[in-house]
Amino acid sequence: MMRHRFLAPLLAAGLLACGAARAENTLTPLHFQSDGWRGSIDKAAAQRGFAVYQSVCASCHGMSGLHYRDLEGIGLTPEQVAGIAASIKLADGSAATPDSLFKPPGAVNMGGAVPPDLGAIVAQRPGGTRYVYEFLTGFGPAPDGMTLLPGHFYNRAFPGGQVSMPNVLRDNAVTYADGTKASAAQEAADVAEFLTWSSDPDLAERHIIGLRTVIFFALLAMVALAAKRRIWREEG
């Protein structure tokens, strides 16, 4: 009985912690709210990340499978989503609607490489969110002794160090509506969080279900153990 008395508050605290939004500085030190078993999407960061995607990335990278209405999942209102969609012209010249799929980019060829679709990029890359951030902030001069291929750029996070994509982020590439300073590092962190959401929109719910499942089986194990001991006592 004492165990059950302590377990109930622990269960409630665990579920609340799993779903609670945490306002944190993601850059010092580098940390993402979506990290870890309690992780959830930082909706403010994801909204800023969508602004970066739309302003900087969308001309080359698609987000297949996403509809504009899905942006309500990062906290945008239906009215905001409708406004975003209405500002986008589709290939046939008509305005997008909330039910439209994200507009695909035109044909882009970067030195023979086709820019990857970003819809599930975080799920497809080892390290996920952190890899996207490190890639976007990994551009710089090539090390001594490295000869870059024509049309390629050095990126310390990419295997082999050479990519066809140039460094596209710069300070103040976008203006954030919430007043956050748009440094290149902040833009990289925000778009990484947005792409984490696009790869796993149900991340927080999945973690809550996982926690509930662990607690359920822990309780079931305790009941089974108690029943087993009672049977042994009665048979003894």
Comparing CA positions, the residue from 183, 163, 197, 167 lying closest to residue 56 is: 167
Q: Using CA atoms, how far apart are residues 6 and 170, in angstroms rounded to an integer?
A: 51
The three-point CA angle 134-135-140 to 5° equals: 95
Q: How far apart are CA 220 and CA 207, in angstroms?
A: 20
Instruction: Give the alpha-carbon dihedral of 87, 89, 94, 97, to 10 degrees.
Output: -50
Give the distance from CA 139 to its chain's centroid. Answer: 21
Give yes or no for a contact between 102 and 61, defined as CB atoms under 8 angstroms apart.
no
The model's pTM: 0.75
User: Can the peptide bond before residue 29 be classed as cis, meaning omega within 30 degrees of 0?
Assistant: yes
Tens of pLDDT, residue by residue, the chain (236 residues): 333 333 333 333 333 333 333 444 678 788 888 887 767 889 999 999 999 999 999 999 999 889 999 999 999 999 999 999 999 999 899 999 999 999 999 877 777 788 999 999 999 998 899 999 999 999 999 999 999 999 999 999 999 999 999 999 999 999 999 999 999 999 999 999 999 999 887 645 554 544 455 565 566 667 777 676 777 777 66
Domain ranges of the chain: 22-66+102-201, 202-236
- Residues 198, 66 contacting (CB under 8 angstroms): yes
**Interatomic CA distance for residues 99 and 7, integer angstroms:** 45
The two three-digit tokens of residue 147, written as one number = 């000869």
136-154 burial: b if 16+ Cβ within 10 Å, else e: bbbbeeeeeeeeeeeebbb
C-alpha to C-alpha distance for 186 and 190, rounded to whole angstroms: 6
The DSSP bridge pattern shows strands 162-163 and 153-154 to be antiparallel
- The dihedrals phi and psi of 67, each to the nearest 5 degrees, come to -100, 155
User: 149 in helix, strand or coil?
Assistant: coil
Q: In CATH, which superfamily holds the domain spanning 22-66+102-201? A: Cytochrome c-like domain (1.10.760.10)
